[in-house]
Chain A
Amino acid sequence: MAWGTQRGWRWCNKCEGLWFGGNPGSKCPAGGVHSKTGSGNYSLVHQATSAPGQSNWRWCSKCQGLWFGGNPAGACPAGAKHIKTGSGNYTIAHQTGAGQQGWRWCSKCQGMWFAGNNTAGKCPAGQGHSSVGSGSYRQVIVTQRIRVHTKILTVPNISIDTLMHNMREVYATAKIDVEWASTENLNFPSLNDLDVGACTLGNTTAEQNTLFAKRNNVGTNDIAVYFVRSTVPPFNGCAAHPPGKPSAAVVKTATQWTFAHEVGHVLGLFHVNNNDRLMTGNGTSNITNPPPDLAGTEVTTMTNSALTVNV
């Protein structure tokens, strides 16, 4: 099942806590409302059943803060304890993963706070936050987003959750949020071994045209990725698509980086001869420093794509 991403989370420069800036009426333990001055726009994964990271982080509707719901509720700056009523289930990158490091769990209030400044901020349980017993959490700051839909004819060997997470991790280095907009199972046996011809930019076969026309719920500037059993000839994936239908095919035996690589092509990237990079033309199975890199020029190309939208 597709998990979602939610932007609009902010760092508060008064209390160091993470809070949702999309609603009015926040409550800061340092007094008044939270402040987003100087904060990036953080994107959190929610409703994930199997995305890597630690789940059960919750939004408190009283103070707008993020807190860990796997323990008894901690002190809330709006009074009494945090509540999880109306909250999604957020999954936070823990120990590994992309994003800004230095985020910690506070054992006193259960909140998420940034320990990278020379202050422990202000904890609603009194004095500063504590990082005792906390793991190392990461938060993704984004300035743009792409929307990706998955269409499944054959389930790949590496789970789509993992493939999507890996793409999110690489694209986060370019501050591009990857929204997993929808997922759909397709039953078209005659297209499950997809004829992709020579798989060159702008050239598509009748089978690609037929498959990529199946765009239920896919917006004009959204990308649809079709998981097929194989391609003819055998490739790990192919990003050639008809005009106006940004799409790619990924095969069952694809590597953990093929999905992100093919979407990179859709966004305008070409192969490079460097196995540290996502767009290596030598095979993503040979990537030597996971997660792979995006060069500055590649980030520029991606951000200039019509499929990449400012947030």
Chain B
Amino acid sequence: MAVEMEQVRAALDPEEPDYPGAVKSLGPDALPHLERIITGDQTGLAAKAAYLAGLIGTDKCIPAMNKAAASGQAVVRLAAAAAAQYMPDEYRDSLVLQLVDDADVGVQKVAMKSAPAMAVMSDALKSRVVALGKPAGKAPAVKQGAKKAVKKAAATRKKP
């Protein structure tokens, strides 16, 4: 059954949207509407749309997520960074790799938190995360996230 814009707005308008419920009730059919909201002029709503698009989590989300990641509004890019963890592996890694070097430090921090375990990271992302954890790296919160990821990977390797 086709999803109408009104249904998407009804899911996103609440102060505290029920994202898992919205994924269930709307599904991928909501994506064209979410894409429109992401590029619209209501920043708060666009951030919610970006997060929901990522949470839907299939390849079909990629156009919407690309738009969110390229938004001029930091909070929309930040929502994309937060939702990256729910995306298919390959796309998730490239999105995190892009947003971990975003101009906005909040986006960087959230992107770092969305990075997967080192063991399953792409090589490109892995080398970037290692670099970010070094002394000349990014803001404290980002560096801390990177260090944590590297440390966790090392601890994992030590297991018999």
Contact = CB atoms under 8 A, between A and B. Distances in A.
Contacts of A195: 113
A261 B15 contact: yes
B43 interface: yes
A198 to B, nearest CB: 9
Interface in A204-242: 229-230, 232-238
A298 interface: no
Interface stretch (A103-111, A177-185, A250-258): A250-258
Contacts of A189: 105-106, 139, 141
Interface stretch (A8-16, A137-145, A166-174, A281-289): A281-289
Given A232-B78, A282-B10, A192 B106 contact: yes
Contacts of A262: 15
Interface in B117-160: 139-141
Contact of B79 (A192, A234, A236): A234
A210 to B, nearest CB: 12
B40 interface: no
Where chain B touches its partner, the secondary structure class is helix
B30 interface: no
A199 B47 contact: no
Interface string B35-49: 000000011100110
Interface centre among B17, B42, B50 (most CB of A within 10 A): B17
Contacts of B79: 230, 232-234
Nearest to B47: A234
Given A234-B51, A251-B44, A193 B15 contact: no
B25 to A, nearest CB: 14
A85 interface: no
Interface residues on A, range: 20 to 34
B109 interface: yes
B115 interface: no
Contacts of B50: 234
B14 A283 contact: yes
Nearest to B16: A235
B4 interface: no
A23 interface: no
Given A233-B79, A234-B51, A251-B44, A282 B106 contact: no
B82 A232 contact: yes
Interface in A89-145: none
A286 B10 CA distance: 10
Nearest to B12: A283
A193 B78 contact: yes
A253 B99 CA distance: 22
Contacts of B12: 283
B19 interface: yes
Nearest to A262: B15
B9 to A, nearest CB: 8
B75 interface: yes
A37 interface: no
A262 B83 CA distance: 24
Given A190-B109, A190-B141, A236 B78 contact: no
A190 B15 contact: no
A252 B43 CA distance: 10
Interface in B49-83: 50-51, 74-75, 78-79, 82-83
Contact of A253 (B44, B109, B141): B44
Given A229-B106, A232-B110, A261-B15, 11 more contacts: A190-B140, A193-B75, A193-B110, A195-B113, A229-B74, A230-B78, A234-B47, A234-B48, A236-B14, A258-B15, A284-B15
Nearest 8 interchain pairs by C-beta: A253-B44, A283-B13, A190-B141, A234-B47, A236-B15, A193-B106, A230-B75, A234-B48
Interface of A: 189-190, 192-193, 195, 199, 229-230, 232-238, 251-255, 258, 261-262, 271, 281-286
11 contacts: A189-B105, A193-B75, A193-B106, A229-B75, A230-B79, A232-B78, A234-B82, A236-B15, A253-B42, A281-B14, A286-B13
